[in-house]
Structure 1
Amino acid sequence: MLRNREIQYLLFAMCSISLLSAAAAAFFSLGAAVLVFISSVLLIGCNLIFTSWRYREIEKLSGYLRQISSGNYSLDVRDNHEGELSILKNDIYKVTLMLTEHGSLLQQDKIQLTDAISDISHQLKTPLTSMIMMADLLGDGELPAAKRTEFTSNIRIQLERIEWLISSLLKISKIDAGTVLFKKDRIWVEKLIQKALEPVLIPMDIKEQTVSIQGESNVSFLGDLNWTAEAVINILKNCVEHTGEGGVIAITFEENALFTEIRIADNGKGIAKEDLPYIFKRFYKGKNASEGSIGIGLAMAHSIITSQNGNIEVKSEQEKGTQFCIKFYK
């Protein structure tokens, strides 16, 4: 403490003032000079004791901060007494809690990133292995023309699947990173449904499925038309995929003072009860998933909807159908 230049200046100033005060008091009487001198010594002593205590407290805080910097967030430095040191201790504790939360979130992000990379590698490995085998077979000059055409068609299908997977992952990554700026335009739900149905009309026609749409033409909400259509398309694809030939897909929508609601229901084979909590999880495939399913379409739909102040829920009974309920809150 005494090596601190500020403390040295303070001691010099207090001693000088004390000596001058004692010398001035000596002009009146010796007793007054002694009294002033003793009082000055006591005051200087109290100041040194208090300053020493503050230094010890600051040293404790320094040690606490060193432990925090080394990754130990378990210490509790809170102080319920009044004073600037107590306020400083409580503020440091708040920062410690915040660092703990950030560290936990970073750890979770690392785990999720590792899992995502593992899942992506797994999803790409299967079609790539298949294409490598078919490419080797295509190199055989004696391969029949029919097989050559079949292998070429299969390679094209696998490439389209990889392209869709990478495109979907890029979209989800942008949403997660917060780099997607969703528009706040007035979206008419009727127009949204028509836009989302266009890509699935051919698959529905092949399976002889029908669609019914019920809702007022003035129902709307604020959002991004293209991104929301992307979400609805993925939900419709799921319904078409899990509904048999001659099935029905029913779409209803309405608006109230709190939210705009869109319901998409099918009379397909439904979702197993144990799969329901996980269908919006990336790369999750339920028991009834098709062979070519990747498990990312509904995850992307969930990300798009929730990023626009929305919510999506699902209800399903096996062999009775599935209903997706989308709400965009005002």
Structure 2
Amino acid sequence: MVLSSIRFKITLWYMLILGVTLLIFSVSVYQNFSGNLYGDLDDLLQSKAEGIVRSINTYWQAQEMDAAKEGSRASAAEKKDRENFLRIVRQWAQERSDDAKIPAAAIQIFDRDGRKIAASASAPDALNIPLDTLNSALEEEDDFYDFRPEGKKALPLRVYATPIIEDGKVSYIVQVASPVNQVYAALDNLKMNLLIFLPLTVLITGVAGSLLAKLTLNPVTDMVKTIRQITAENLKLRVKIPGSRDEIKKLADTFNDMLAKLESSFYAQRKFIQDISHELKTPLTILKGEFEVALQRIRSADEYEDTLLSSLEEVDRISKIVDNLLILVRFDSQEIPFKFQPVELKQLIQGVVNDISVLSNSKNIMIDFTDSDPLPLTADESYLRRVFLNILDNAVKYTPESGAVSIALRAQEPYAVIRISDNGPGIVPEELPHIFERFYRGGSSSRAGSGFGLGLAIAKSIAEAHKGRIEAQSRLGQGTTFNVFLPLFF
């Protein structure tokens, strides 16, 4: 459980990224430090070589002065005289190579042919000038290289060779070598420190990161505890909103929005069940009562016929409720196979007016359909007829006798707008927002208690399935107006 937690994963990724970053940083530091140490050692060797050349030249000049005092010929001390030069260099190596003014190092001097002329006592016998280095010297180029003597206790050397140029030619080659044990020791010390402190740093920061992740995710833990307490009976419970303005706050807000929607959905479901139970209970009670009365004694054929006809009316009522509910359920699940095709709206509404005329004529209600130009659109004709039939049925039903219902049709891009108005009792403002809810029949207006309360809900669902909408305005005592908006291009 712990290994699969977000906290563990965040900490693990944090330690991994930190470890890789520190590893790259350590390698970079090690390489840079190593380069600096070798650079410093190379500078030291170069400085030593320059000091040796100056010392040899000084020694040479001293020999010249001594020769002049003794009355020797000048040529005896000239560098052009190779034998004299070799003699003086060897003499310098014996007398001055260990001079305190010259930094300690293994010193070797070679001629142009790579033969060793002289060497300090500290220079190993196995150290000679490599052929590549000799060629570089003859081309008047300096060279650095590493030399590892044989033997377990032998220390590796860093070697610097530089040619001495006189009269435009290489006169001799000075080679200086120094042990690199101090460089190795410094690098080993750095390596050991990095190997100790890098894992330790990752471990300490990992622990700190784990604690930080725990503090960060504490609100999520509280949310989980709250959510586990939520059931169908206490949907009013809400997740505590943290004071931060981060993603966790957004998550808490989202959960609370979801809970509000669930609460509304559960409430609607309960109300739906209560409403349908009430709607079905009435006709079923009537059916049961009529059957019980009919069975109390033997009746005439006419009485049985009346009972059956009354029962049939209640069965039709139940059947109509069930059919309407099935339509709404299919709309909710989006399972209705619409057959969209070109429809001439004016002709369709005229047909609905003709169908409703039986009901309107019985109440002496005049339906005024304002003539308009043909208005074609794409729709499912059978379902669209039901929209206007339900609205007109309501209008005629709630309009008093000898009243009037008007229908107006117009194009208002991008919609076709159908306006249906009656001069009935109207709807109180508090009930107007609820008239499209299922089984809602109002409580204070004269519309209350009539019908099933499903007709406008079905009309609204059909309009929305056609990417349209229905709006209602009403003034108490003056009537109600429905505006149906249907897209001209669907």
Matches of 1:269 and 1:171 in 2, distance apart? 29
Matched, 1:37 2:195: no
Which residue identity is paired with 1:42? F
Residue number in structure 2 paired with 1:265: 421
Change (3 A) 1:26 1:262: farther
Out of 364, 377, 382, which is 1:208 matched to? 364
Change (3 A) 1:42 1:313: same
Residue number in structure 1 paired with 2:462: 304
CA drift of 1:237 comes to: 0.7
Which structure features the higher share of helix residues?
1
SS in 2 for 1:211: strand
Matches of 2:395 and 2:297 in 1, distance apart? 43
Matches of 1:248 and 1:282 in 2, distance apart? 27
Q: Deviations over 1:75-124 (max 9, x none)?
A: 549687xxxxxxxxx3x665554444333322321111111001110111
Residue number in structure 2 paired with 1:85: none
CA drift of 1:27 comes to: 7.4
Assess if the C-alpha contact under 8 Å between 1:137 and 1:143 holds in 2. Answer: no
Matches of 2:187 and 2:459 in 1, distance apart? 88
Q: Deviations over 1:141-192 (max 9, x none)?
A: 3435554333322211111111111111111122223333545533321132
CA drift of 1:233 comes to: 0.8
Residue number in structure 2 paired with 1:105: 261
Aligned ranges for residues 78-97 of structure 1 at < 5 Å? 90=247, 94-97=250-253
Residue number in structure 2 paired with 1:251: 407
Assess if the C-alpha contact under 8 Å between 2:405 and 2:420 holds in 1. Answer: yes
Which residue identity is paired with 2:313? I
SS in 2 for 1:117: helix
Bigger radius of gyration among the two: 2
Matched, 1:136 2:302: no
Change (3 A) 1:316 1:145: farther
Residue number in structure 1 paired with 2:92: none
Which residue identity is paired with 1:324? F
CA drift of 1:260 comes to: 1.0
Aligned ranges for residues 5-84 of structure 1 at < 5 Å? 28-60=183-215, 65-72=220-227, 73-74=239-240, 76=242
Matches of 2:12 and 2:182 in 1, distance apart? 34
SS in 2 for 1:139: helix
Residue number in structure 2 paired with 1:288: 446
Residue number in structure 2 paired with 1:197: 353
Matches of 1:185 and 1:139 in 2, distance apart? 54
Q: Please, what TM-score do these two structures have when normalized by structure 1? A: 0.78
Structure 1 window deviating more from structure 2 (315-324 vs 156-165): it is 315-324
Which residue identity is paired with 1:55? S
Matches of 2:376 and 2:250 in 1, distance apart? 44
Change (3 A) 1:196 1:60: farther
Matches of 2:425 and 2:263 in 1, distance apart? 39
SS in 1 for 2:296: coil
Structure 1 window deviating more from structure 2 (122-131 vs 52-61): it is 52-61
Assess if the C-alpha contact under 8 Å between 2:353 and 2:367 holds in 1. Answer: no
SS in 1 for 2:406: strand
Which residue identity is paired with 1:281? E
Q: Cα RMSD (Å) of the superposition?
A: 3.7
Assess if the C-alpha contact under 8 Å between 1:215 and 1:254 holds in 2. Answer: no
CA drift of 1:38 comes to: 2.5
CA drift of 1:261 comes to: 0.4
Which residue identity is paired with 1:326? V
Change (3 A) 1:35 1:244: closer
Q: Please, what TM-score do these two structures have when normalized by structure 2? A: 0.55
Change (3 A) 1:106 1:269: closer
Matches of 1:64 and 1:270 in 2, distance apart? 51
Which residue identity is paired with 2:436? F
Assess if the C-alpha contact under 8 Å between 1:26 and 1:33 holds in 2. Answer: no
Matches of 1:274 and 1:101 in 2, distance apart? 25
Q: For structure 1, list consecutive stretches of 5 or more residues without a partner in the other structure.
A: 81-89
- State how many pairs are aligned: 313
Which residue identity is paired with 2:451? S
Matched, 1:123 2:289: no
Which residue identity is paired with 1:309? K
Matches of 2:297 and 2:220 in 1, distance apart? 72
Change (3 A) 1:41 1:295: same
